[in-house]
Amino acid sequence: MNRAPNLVAPEAPSLLPAEAVFGMRVERLGPIRAEEFENWSLGEEDPLELIEGWLLPMTPGTYSTGNALGQLFSVLAPLVRERGWSMSLDARHRLPRPPDTVVFPDLVVHCAAEVSCVPGTETVARVPDIVVEILGRETAERDRAPRGAKFLAYQMSGVQEYYCAWADGREAAGFHLREGRFAAAPQQPDGFFSSPLLGASLRLVPAALR
């Protein structure tokens, strides 16, 4: 992998609050431009994301995570197909805010038939409308409200609905964007969240739609 060592942090203040790095490892390398990062060859043994120019580790895929996402994908696929939307698993996305942020959401729904990519790359340039993250050891604090850097990046970039949970369904949470900020979505006793965009109720684990 092409990495530039010994880079110095920028003088400009971060767009993310200082507490956004809560729970992250501090062995970070940066600043790095999104254009550079997108040209790297990333392997499953060393997955990385870029948030505001800082490299951050991802959790390698596990059977339980893949199983949960596969079930969720299957549940959502008929509705997404019927609406003429698009959906993907673990696709690279560049977010507009903060700058130099490139992430791999576990599952995204775009309320559009086609999405554009950053010219010359396979990086999706369109902000997802719905994002689902299955929490992992290295990424849980980054993904969770209210201080996670990825949670805040999704909020800043205009993701309309965000859901997360561990692969066994623990700590399931849902959020809807209201006036530029994520508001917690009430969870029903049986684990469902009402999704305005889907026009249905969604449960992450076990996956279900009604």
More confident residue, 68 or 43: 68
Write out the two tokens for 125: 């340039």
Mean pLDDT over residues 20-45, rounded?
Answer: 72
Each domain of the chain, given as residue ranges in start order, spans 63-209
pTM score, whole prediction: 0.90
Q: pLDDT per residue over 149-205, tens digit each?
A: 999 999 999 999 999 999 999 999 999 999 999 999 999 999 999 999 999 999 999
CATH number for the domain whose boundaries are 63-209: 3.90.1570.10
Residue 3's pLDDT is 45
Q: Are 136 and 65 in contact (CB under 8 A)?
A: yes
Q: For the chain, give the mean pLDDT.
A: 89
Q: pLDDT per residue over 55-77, tens digit each?
A: 888 888 889 999 999 999 999 99
Query: In whole angstroms, what is the distance from residue 143 CA to residue 145 CA?
Result: 7
Query: In whole angstroms, what is the distance from residue 87 CA to residue 97 CA?
Result: 22
